[in-house]
Structures are given as C-alpha cells and as structure tokens.
C-alpha cells in the first residue's frame, strides 16, 4: 500500500472533517433507516428481522401509493410553474436589463427570501389564502365574492402556490447562470442572419440554457418531493404528501419500520430523478457538441 506523501497530509486533514461529517450524519443514518425498513413492528417495540412485509404493505395498500402519486404530481406542477415564471425573469435580467446594479438588485430580490425562515414564508401564504386573508378581503371588497371562502386553502392548489413561492429561487439561480454564460455574439449573429427574436430564443438561447433548466427542475422537484412543513400548514387532508406520512409513522403511529420503508422508497425516487437529470445534461452537452 502506497503511503501518503508528507505534502499530501495537510490536504487529507482538511478533507477528513467533511468526510467524517458525511459519514456520521448521512451514511450512518441511511444505513440505520435501511435496516429498520426490514424490521417487524410488534407493539410496543420493533423486532429485528429480514423481510419485505413493509414494502409489500406500501404497494398493496392504495393509500400509500396514492400519496406517492400525489406527491409526485404536486412536485411536477411546482417545477413546471416555477419554470414558467423563472425563465422569463432570468431571460429579462440577462438580455434586457443593461444596468449591472439594477440586475444585481433584481436578482437579490429573488434570492432574498431564502434568508427568511422557511416556516415564516409558508405561514405567510396561509395568511394570504385564508378566509380572513388578503386574497379573500380583496375579492369581497371588489364584489367578486359575497363573503369570504376557504376554497383557496387546505387543498392542492394552495400547496402548489406556496411551494412554488418557496422554491422558485432554486429555479431562477441555475437558469440565470446558464443564460449569463451564453456568448452575446451568438445572439447577435443570429440577429444578423435574419433570425427573428423568437427564433433566436428557441434555436440558440433555449438549447444553450437547457443545463440550467434541468438543474433548476431537479432542485425544485426534489425539494418539493421531500417537503412536509407546507403540507402541514396549507395542505389539509387533500394535500398530505409522503413526508407527512413518514413523519406520522415515526410519531403517532409508532411504526418505524414502515416509516423507514417509505423513506427508502422516497430516497430511491429522488436518486432516480437526479440520475435522469445527470444523464439528460450529459446528453445535452453531447448534442451541442
């Protein structure tokens, strides 16, 4: 075995801290959860075993895969809505705003909410969409509604709106970075060749910005898929997501093996999305030459 050289020792020391942190707080917990997923629940405790009953229960009981489907659907809607709002904004910043100071100010306005407590941001939308909230007050004041309604809260609509607001900065940042890296002379050359602005957008800018779009969609989807605070605050029974079910299994239900199996399934789905994202980015780079 080759011994490390003396000049390599400082680098190994620096790397040891994050490596130990990753092992202690990521790898070991994953191993524990994976092990628990095969155990049996025998009230009031759990029995070590190696069986697939917890996984079989998840796929045999409709309520569990319905929750998984609902979670995926909400995550997809949030990703699409975030993209539809983030891309025009990032495009406007990069190609339309000439002032560097104004561009930085607008960019900071988007990412500034990340410095505010997540709980506060989610609770803000509960206040806005509630029966006594800003939206209901405005609709009653304009005469559109005769009286306040709860239709805007405790459903999947409120979930999508709240999660889009919370996670849209993670869509804006990679798209903005990708657009900023596009050489301006390519855009100017397309215009000189008679390509319309829309043609330039679809044939030049969009393909070159796809890595940012894919990265933003991956961030937004995965963060939404694992969220459990927003469903608790604004989701209601129709907005329960898989993370809420996992929380209840570890809490009131006291069924850690089933909760662990759900957590492993959720982890596999997220890792699969990340892998597909990575393959799509590599395919895009190959396609662009």
Q: Does residue 27 lie within any of the structural domains?
A: no
Q: Does residue 33 lie within any of the structural domains?
A: no
Strand partners, 46: 41
Q: Does residue 133 lie within any of the structural domains?
A: yes
The CATH number of residue 148's host domain is 1.10.3720.10
Residue 43 has pLDDT above 90, yes or no: no
278-282 mean pLDDT: 88
Q: Does residue 150 lie within any of the structural domains?
A: yes
Amino acid 287: pLDDT = 53
* Residue 99 domain boundaries: 59-287
Global pTM reads 0.90
Q: Does residue 134 lie within any of the structural domains?
A: yes
Q: Does residue 4 lie within any of the structural domains?
A: no
Q: Phi-psi bin for 14: left (phi > 0), alpha (psi -120 to 50), beta?
A: alpha
Cis? peptide before 176, omega within 30° of 0: no
Q: Does residue 111 lie within any of the structural domains?
A: yes
Domain count, the chain: 1
Percent of the chain topping pLDDT 90: 64
Place 194 in a pLDDT band, splitting at 50, 70 and 90: confident
Residue 122 has pLDDT above 70, yes or no: yes
Distance, first Cα to last Cα, the chain:
41
Burial class (CB in 10 A: 0-12, 13-18, 19+), 274: middle
Q: Does residue 47 lie within any of the structural domains?
A: no
């Amino acid at each position: 075995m080759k011994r490390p050289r003396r000049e390599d020792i400082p680098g190994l020391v620096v790397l040891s801290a994050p490596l130990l942190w990753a092992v202690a707080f990521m790898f070991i917990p994953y191993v524990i959860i994976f092990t628990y997923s095969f155990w049996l629940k025998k009230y009031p405790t759990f029995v070590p075993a190696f069986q697939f009953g917890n996984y079989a229960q998840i796929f045999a009981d409709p309520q569990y895969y319905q929750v998984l489907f609902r979670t995926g659907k909400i995550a997809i809607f949030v990703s699409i809505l975030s993209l539809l709002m983030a891309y025009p904004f990032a495009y406007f910043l990069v190609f339309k705003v000439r002032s560097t100071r104004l561009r930085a100010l607008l960019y900071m306005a988007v990412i500034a909410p990340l410095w505010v407590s997540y709980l506060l941001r989610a609770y803000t939308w509960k206040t806005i969409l509630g029966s006594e909230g800003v939206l209901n007050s405005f609709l009653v004041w304009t005469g559109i509604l005769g009286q306040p309604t709860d239709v805007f809260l405790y459903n999947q609509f409120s979930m999508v709106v709240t999660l889009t607001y919370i996670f849209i900065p993670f869509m804006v940042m990679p798209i903005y970075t990708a657009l900023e890296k596009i050489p301006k002379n390519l855009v100017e050359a397309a215009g000189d060749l008679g390509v319309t602005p829309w043609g330039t957008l679809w044939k030049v800018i969009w393909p070159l910005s796809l890595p940012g779009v894919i990265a933003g969609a991956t961030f937004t989807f995965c963060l939404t898929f694992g969220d459990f605070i927003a469903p608790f605050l604004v989701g209601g029974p129709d907005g329960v997501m898989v993370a809420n079910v996992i929380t209840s299994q570890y809490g009131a239900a006291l069924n850690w093996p089933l909760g662990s199996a759900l957590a492993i399934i959720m982890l596999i789905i997220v890792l699969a999305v990340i892998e597909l994202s990575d393959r799509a980015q590599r395919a895009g780079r190959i396609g662009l030459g």
